[in-house]
Amino acid sequence: MDAARRVFLQRAALVGAATGAPLLLATAGEATTLAKTRSGRVAGYRDQGVHVFKGIPYGADTAPRRFRPALQESAWRGVRDAVQPGASAPQNGSDGPGSEDCLFLNVCTPGLRDGGKRPILFYIHGGGYNNGSGSNPLYDGVRLCRRGDVVVVTVNHRLNAFGYLYLAELGGEDFRHSGNVGQLDLVQALRWVREHAQEFGGDAGNVTVFGQSGGGAKIATLMAMPAARGLFHRAWTMSGQQVTAAGPRAATQRTQLLLEALKIAPHEIDRLRAVSMEKILEAARTRDPSRIEDTSLYLGPVMDARSLHRHPFYPDAPPQSAGIPMIIGNTRDETRAFLGNDPDNFTLSWEQLPKKLQAQQYADILPEVVIDEYRRMYPDYTPSQVFFAATTAGRSWRGAVEEAEARARQGSPAWVYQLDWGSPLDGGKFGAFHALDIPLVFDNIAQPGSRAGSGAQAQRVADQMSRALLAFARQGDPNHAGLPRWRPYALEARETMVFDVTSRMENDPRGGERRLYQRAPFIQRGTL
């Protein structure tokens, strides 16, 4: 938005607030909409009848409190423009470089101050713990609001070194929460949502957190954090798990590597407060010796005995979240999203396969053993099909199985899904890749960045998945008339909803692959 339009919007909002009259943006023909937050009024816009507010601050600029829990945002006078997203967290990549003033959220709602008591859907973006933003067009909540009469919130929070660099062992009490401030930002955002639920027509007692990839991992971690207790009531995770967190020794070792890259001695750790954002991001590219596949440090949640007292899903599911209904999902061809970018991976020979598999399956099982098992289970598979299937089962899928089993042993409500429907784009070669379920769950197949295509099949799958999310948010159970009966997951049958053009229930899909990889213990990458 240009400066002239921004000034016009602010002035129009002020006039409207004073007169109580409906407001129109003459320059764009969009109705202006106003909401009141704890720190001041915000002016958004209407989209297909839905009130949309972007870039609302839920915390103060984190730069003055780098590596420490954020403070509440400062109050403002007048009306704040809320029609553009706020800055993303500091990061490399397409959402970067970002800013340390990054604690912003976006709200879509069908009604304001109307006592609607709508379910609130709080989405946590992916990108691991390193990248991403809650303002991606795929996360636009307007269609979910219109379809399900819900409130949708998306959020930015601190990432990578700014959100998860563990300094407690080297820097003392002032940095005691540093390894999890990115998670504490999410707690702060959820508290903001609880405080403002009535203003935005939502129910503070019915909040569903949902997220994909890193977003799902952050949710699993929140389920074990005492500070998050009571702030959400349902959890829907997509291809994102956090079974174990980094231990304090391993996290400190990574911090020392980053300090070495910056040429800062451990006793000079206070110098980190003044190092530029860009230099910290560059130092975080230091190779992590515990991860054969990455060239950068793992910086994620830390079991620090302060904010996180236990591993999220080890040795069992977190007791504090036993009563929270949970969805655990994955896509059948997860690794085609990242390993499919190398065209050579689609033309592998049997001779090339062992070396490729050794580097990419993560589980430490002899590749020849894995290949023999896959050829026995799927005799028609090509070497490339074995490669993509085995890397998916050996890395992306393992955490989902661990979490589902832990919930089943706990006797807690959990439903499991697998997305089998594959994107028709690029000749269909990427299949049901990692992140394909995002536009389907949001019912946003036509949004920029969607790789689901816009055909009738894509919309049919989106109808099924988005309705399941909405049913889950409203009643704590994903069943609806457009699906066969979706039964909760139990160890006896391992019931799984397989989403496809015609979805179906299966017991223990890919059971042979599950048993193969359970020969090796599962430890989340970054734990050691």
From residue 348, how far is each of 37, 106, 333, 342, 487 by CA, in Å?
57, 44, 17, 11, 39
52 pLDDT above the threshold of 70: yes
| Res 20: pLDDT | 37
pLDDT at 525 over 90: no
Confidence of residue 433 (pLDDT cuts 50, 70, 90): very high
Token pair 């015609």 is found at 502
Higher pLDDT: 325 or 31? It is 325
Spatial separation of the C-alpha atoms in residues 237 and 214, rounded to whole Å: 10
| Percentage of the chain exceeding pLDDT 70 | 94
pLDDT at 25: 36
Burial class (CB in 10 A: 0-12, 13-18, 19+), 521: exposed
The domains of the chain are located at 322-517
120 or 292, higher pLDDT: 120
Q: Are 277 and 287 in contact (CB under 8 A)?
A: no
Check whether 258 has a pLDDT greater than 70.
yes
Q: Which residues fall within 8 angstroms of residue 201, CB to CB, at 6 or more apart?
A: 109, 110, 111, 112, 113, 114, 115, 116, 117, 118, 151
**Residue 149: pLDDT over 70:** yes
Residue-level pLDDT at 396: 81
pLDDT at 10: 45
Distances (CA, A) of 21 to 14, 18, 31: 11, 8, 11
Question: What is the predicted pLDDT for the residue at 281?
Answer: 97
At residue 172, the pLDDT reads: 85
Answer whether residue 475 shows pLDDT above 60: yes
Average pLDDT over residues 438-453: 97
Other residues' Cβ atoms within 10 Å of the Cβ of residue 266: 14
Tokens read off for 466: 């988005």
* pLDDT for residue 2: 40
Per-residue confidence band for 30, with pLDDT thresholds at 50, 70 and 90: low
The stretch 459-476 carries a mean pLDDT of: 98
Say if residue 92's pLDDT is above 80. Answer: yes
| Summary mean pLDDT of the chain | 93
Q: What is the pLDDT of residue 295?
A: 72
Q: Is the pLDDT of residue 221 over 60?
A: yes
- The pLDDT tens digits of the residues spanning 302-360 come to 999 999 999 999 999 999 999 999 999 999 999 999 999 999 999 999 999 999 999 89
pLDDT at 290: 80
Per-residue pLDDT averaged across 22-39, rounded?
A: 65
What is the C-alpha to C-alpha distance for residues 125 and 93, in angstroms, rounded to an integer? 15
Spatial CB neighbours of 102, under 8 Å, sequence gap ≥ 6 = 62, 86, 87, 88, 89, 90, 156, 157, 158
pLDDT of residue 493: 98
- Asked whether the predicted pLDDT for residue 14 surpasses 70, the reply is no
Least confident segment among 4-13, 240-249, 302-311, 420-429: 4-13
Q: What is the mean pLDDT of residues 373-391?
A: 98
> Does the pLDDT value for residue 23 go beyond 70?
no
Report d(CA 411, CA 5) in Å as an integer: 55
* DSSP state, residue 426: G
- Three-state SS for 346-402 is HCCCCCCHHHHHHHHCCCCCCHHHHHHHHHHHCCCCCHHHHHHHHHHHHHHCHHHHH
Q: What confidence score (pLDDT) does residue 13 get?
A: 44
pLDDT tens per residue, range 500-519:
999 999 999 999 999 999 99
Q: Answer yes or no: are the C-beta atoms of 221 and 263 closer than 8 Å.
A: no
The crossing angle, in degrees rounded to 10, of helices 367-377 and 383-391 is 110
Task: Answer whether residue 4 shows pLDDT above 70.
Answer: no
pLDDT at residue 292, rounded to an integer: 66
Distance CA 161, CA 182 (A): 9
Does position 231 have pLDDT exceeding 70, yes or no?
A: yes
The residues assigned a catalytic role are 213, 334, 434
Closest CA to 231 of 192, 182, 200, 198: 192
Fold of 322-517: Rossmann fold (3.40.50)
pLDDT, average across residues 271-296: 89
The whole-number pLDDT of residue 28 equals 38
Please name which of 267, 78, 309 lies closest in space to residue 169, comparing C-alpha atoms: 267
Tokens coding 286: 């230091």
pLDDT score recorded for residue 293? 64
Q: Residue 289: its pLDDT value, please?
A: 84
pTM: 0.94
